[in-house]
Each structure stands twice: as C-alpha cells, then as structure tokens.
Structure 1
Amino acid sequence: MDVVDSHQHFWSLSASWFDWPTPDLKPIYRDYAPADLLPEIEATGVSKTVLVQAAPYLAETSFILDIALKTEFVAGVVGWIDLEQPGHLVDLERFADHSKFCGIRPMIQSIPDVNWMLRPSLQPSLAVVERLGLTFDALVRPEHLEALVAFVDRYPNLPVVIDHGAKPEIAKGREGFDAWADRIAAVAERPHVVCKLSGLLTEAGARAGADDLLPFVDHLIGTFGPQRLMWGSDWPVLELASPYSAWLDQVRAFVARLSESEQKLILGDVARNFYHLQA
C-alpha cells in the first residue's frame, strides 16, 4: 500500500533563523536533511512526504522550498507567513507560484493568546490564502479548540487540517482524554476540517503503549472518519519517542480492522487530496 507522510521537517542548526530544537533535546539537536529521511521512507514503503515549516521566518520557508525543488520524495510544502503583516502577502504570492507549495502554518501553539486566530487583523491575509487555494495547518492544543470551532465557522472556504490531533495530553491518561475528547469532536463536526494522526507519541510519555494510545486513535477515527484523517510521522521530532518505522507499524496495526479502502485513505489518499499533491 502506497503511503504518504503528511508531516515531516528538516532543519539546520547553523541557519540564521534556527531557534528550535534547543540543546536540551539532545536526541534531535542536529541537522536533518533529505539524506537522513530517505532510508526511513524506503524501508517503510513511504513514497511521498509533506515538508512542514518548523520556524516562524520567511527565510525558513524559502529554505524548505529550495529543498523540495531538489528532493523528489517531497511532494508538498507547508510554509509560514505573518498573517498580521500585510507586507508578507507579496511573499505568500511568491511562495504560491512554487509548484510544491501547499499552504501555511502559523505557530498557534506558541502564541499566548488562545483566541489569536479570531483577531480581525488576520482576515485580509486569510482572504488571500483562500483566493490562492492554499491550506491552513492548525498547530493547536486542546485549550485552542473552542476558538478553532469559531475560526473554521468564520472561514468555511478555508481547508483546515489539525496537526497532531490537537496534541491531547496522553501522558495524563483519562484526565487528558476527557479534557480533549469533546472539544476535538466539536471541531470534527465541521466537514471542511481534517486531522493528522501524528505527534501522539511525543505527548504520551510513559503511556505510549497500544492500550494507552488506542482510545485517542479510536476517537479520532470515530469523529473524523477515515475520509478526513491522514497519517504523519512528525519526524524528526518523532525520534524523541520512537523510531520512524515503529510509529508507522503502530498506526498500521490500529487501522488494520478497517477496510482496505479506509486504510488507504488514512495512509495516503486523504493527504494527497487535501494538499493536492502531484503524482
């Protein structure tokens, strides 16, 4: 079965914009480039990836677009602009001319104001995002989901994907599930919103076993359905918790009870359709 990784990163510690990961995250505090990921995807049957920004700088988006241009397996790029800076719209138009540019990701989880996405100052830029047919990656946590419901209702023509299942606090067990489940279900009621089955292991801590993760995975499958759920690795952040192949194997085991066509949706087709990836 052909697999698409809907969420991965590259970075260089020497880049002028580099500020994360920090040295305390020793397992991933090094450069990551296509040559590092290629053996992982070749060993697991992943054919294409979506390269996602990791720093809130225009220069970083240009950097990953250059990588994508030279890297066959990178089928799409999700970049960054400052949605509150009208001057950045020139850069957005320039990015949109790139054949592999798919959309934008503001780093909402790092913004103190949980209602930031509802600021009127974002509306002109988001209108351009919509006009250009681009996507919006929502990097949020459970505390952002109430605002996200209002956001997606305000922009019904904006294709939105929730990164990492909105980062439920799996390490807290039932408490983490209860704080997240109803909120994510409310967002899932909006049919133009999809979700990434990614990033869960780094939220799990010691609760990373199949029995710990299954209630969260089942809830995402039950609320979004296979038609609006896409697998992603979140590599190399994933390496803080698991090898690349182990996470993909775990997800394959979770979805094995679904039909073959439903498995294909989660493991590739939803990402291809949402991001309009080239064959």
Structure 2
Amino acid sequence: MAEGLELIDTHQHLILRDRLGYAWTAGIPALAAGDFTEGDYARLTAGKGVVGSVFMETGVDDADYRAEARLVAGMSGFLGQIASIRPEDEGFEAWLEEALELGVVGFRRILHVVPDGVSETEVFRRNLRKIGRAGVPFDLNFLARQLVPVGVPLLRACPDQAFVLDHCGVPDVAAGEWEEWDRGVAAFAGFRNVVVKLSGITAYAAPGAGVGVIRPYVDRLLELFGPERMLWGSDWPVVDLGAGLPGWIDMTGELLAGLSESERYAVGVGTAKRVYGV
C-alpha cells in the first residue's frame, strides 16, 4: 500500500440475518451463510489506513429497507449512511423525510436489478430531483450496457442532482470487456455533477486477478474524472468475491501509488468528505 494512504470507506455493508432479509445472497457461497458484522470489518481493516466508513445499504429484501436504515441510524460506528430509497413508489415522500431526519448522507436505488424502464418514468425522475433539492447525493448502480442508453438520459433529466457512479461503472473485467464500458464512463464523466467510486471492480475480474489486470480500468477513470471526482469504497463483504478486503486495500495503494500526495488524499478521503459531507 502507498505509504501514508488514508481511506474513508464509502461502501461498507453489513449482513445481520437475525434482523433483516438478504435473499440476494442465496446461491453465492461466500455470502450465503453467516453474519458480516462491524467487529469483522474492524478486524479486517486494523492497521490498514481506514480512518472511517459510511454504511451502504445492503440490498435487503424490499420489506426491510426502511428497517435497515433505522437500525443503522442507532449504530455509532459509522460516519453516516447511504440508505435505500424507491423514487418510483408512492411512499417516497414520507420515507425521504424520515430518512433525512435519521441523518442519512446519501441514497441509493440499485437500478441493474430492476427493469430499465423504472428510472425512465417521470415519477422516478421527479422524485429524484427532490433528493437533489435536499442536497443529498444519489449512488447509481448500472451495468456497463446500461450506462449510455439508460444512465445518460437520467443524468440529463436531473442536472441538479449529485450522483456517484458505483463500482467503476461495472466493467466485465473477466471477459476483457472495454469498448462499451469506456463509452459509458466517458459519457458520465462529461456531467460535472457525477463522481466515480473506486470500488467493486475485483468482483468482476477473474479469480486471482492482480493489479495489472485492474490498472487499465482505474487509470482510464482517473484520466476521465480526475482524483477530485473519485472516491473509494470497499464493497465489503461482496469484495470477498474478488480480492477480499485486506487485498483490495493493498491493491488500492498500488493503483494510486503514482499519484501525488494531494491526489491520493482526494481519492482516499477528500472527495468522500465533500460529496457526502462526512
């Protein structure tokens, strides 16, 4: 790891099966059983330069997403939380108001697990603009194939909303996919209200993939967005499908080693503080 690199983790999940449902983990051996707790995370990051973390909603079962945010709001170990929200739902306004009262610093709707048309409705976009007026960023999860046809129109419709593109725009690294992803992230970088999250990418690479495989994607994102528009996330415990948490932290240090001290600070800490207000 680059000497002295400090990180705010903007994408830490928890899995607490006795309190919430995680149907999406079924069939994923690394995640299908057991809990992934604050204590587990602390042990994995000890001495690794992580100076704080922001909880990221864990894609809990639909009936539980409000309960998850309420539960996390009572925990003291986070700098803030990014809560799940449903801009397409009639109950949007009430939940937006409650979540803001809980101190939520961001919202997310995972858009690659629903039909593309969900984010294309005027109801969704009108409600998303309300999040923007509240001054809170919105994390976007799109597959590479969705970036231009689905993502770009959404960005155009919500020019005053701050967006965070999660997981490097989800390139299929294992398949060597580049062109479609590159067109998409280049288009997103043209919107000044979008930053990109350096997270999740090892889960889309072949098992055991090293820095050399990941570097071209990260270097391209740095070229497009610059360090001031990039922030870091662990995506723990999903990162266990790739490099694992300690391994991803070490890879991050290698990937950013060529940057100046101020640029490494921006990716590791500065952009997160600015975007999420933590």
TM-score, normalising length: structure 1:
0.91
2:115 is the alignment partner of 1:112 = yes
The answer to whether the Cα contact below 8 Å between 2:6 and 2:51 also exists between their aligned partners in 1 is: yes
Asked if 1 retains the 8 angstrom alpha-carbon contact of 2:9 and 2:232, the reply is yes
Whether 1:27 and 2:30 are equivalent positions in the alignment is yes
1:128 alignment partner in structure 2: 130
- Quickly say closer, same or farther: Cα 1:274–1:16, change in 2 above 3 A: closer
Given the superposition, is the C-alpha separation of residues 18 and 142 from structure 1 closer, same or farther in structure 2, using an over 3 Å criterion? Answer: same
Query: In the alignment, does 2:183 pair up with 1:157?
Result: no
Q: Which residue of 2 aligns with 1:182?
A: 183
Aligned-pair distance for 1:65? 4.2
2:7–2:52 CA contact under 8 A, matched in 1: yes
How do residues 72-91 of structure 1 correspond to structure 2 at under 5 angstroms?
A: 72=77, 74-91=78-95
The CA deviation at 1:51 is 0.9
The 3 A distance-change label for structure 1 pair 77 and 201 is same
**Structure 2 CA distance for partners of 1:16 and 1:263, relative to 1, 3 Å:** closer
Task: Identify the residue that residue 53 of structure 1 maps to in structure 2.
Answer: 57
Instruction: Give the Cα separation in 2 of the matches to 1:7 and 1:161.
Output: 11
The CA deviation string for residues 99-147 of structure 1, in whole angstroms up to 9 with x for no partner, is: 3x1121111010132x432211213322321222111110111111112
**Contact 1:57-1:80 at 8 Å conserved across structures:** no
| Cα deviation, residue 39, structure 1 | 1.5
Q: CA deviation at 1:207?
A: 6.8
Identity of aligned pairs, percent?
A: 27
Q: Which residue of 2 aligns with 1:37?
A: 41
Separation in structure 2 between the aligned mates of residue 234 and residue 85 of structure 1, nearest angstrom: 27
- Name the count of aligned residue pairs: 271
Residue 12 to residue 216, structure 1, CA distance change in 2 (3 Å):
same
Instruction: Compute the RMSD of aligned alpha carbons.
Output: 1.7
SS of 1:106's partner is strand
Closer, same or farther in 2 for the Cα pair 1:17/1:35, shift >3 Å? same
For residue 263 of structure 1, report the CA deviation from its aligned partner. 0.3
Listed as ranges, the matches of 1:107-256 within 5 Å are 107-113=110-116, 115-146=117-148, 147-173=150-176, 176-206=177-207, 208-256=209-257
Amino acid in the other structure paired with 2:191: R
Which stretches in structure 1 are left out of the alignment for 5+ residues?
Answer: none
Report the Cα offset of residue 164 of structure 1.
0.1
Residues 26-66 of structure 1: per-residue CA shift (max 9 Å, x gap) = 22222112111111222312111111112253633432443
* Equivalent residue letter for 1:109: H
For residue 11 of structure 2, what is the aligned residue in structure 1?
A: 7
TM-score (norm 2): 0.91
Unpaired runs of 5+ residues, structure 2, are none
Letter of the 2:38 counterpart: P
- 4+ runs deviating over 6 angstroms: none
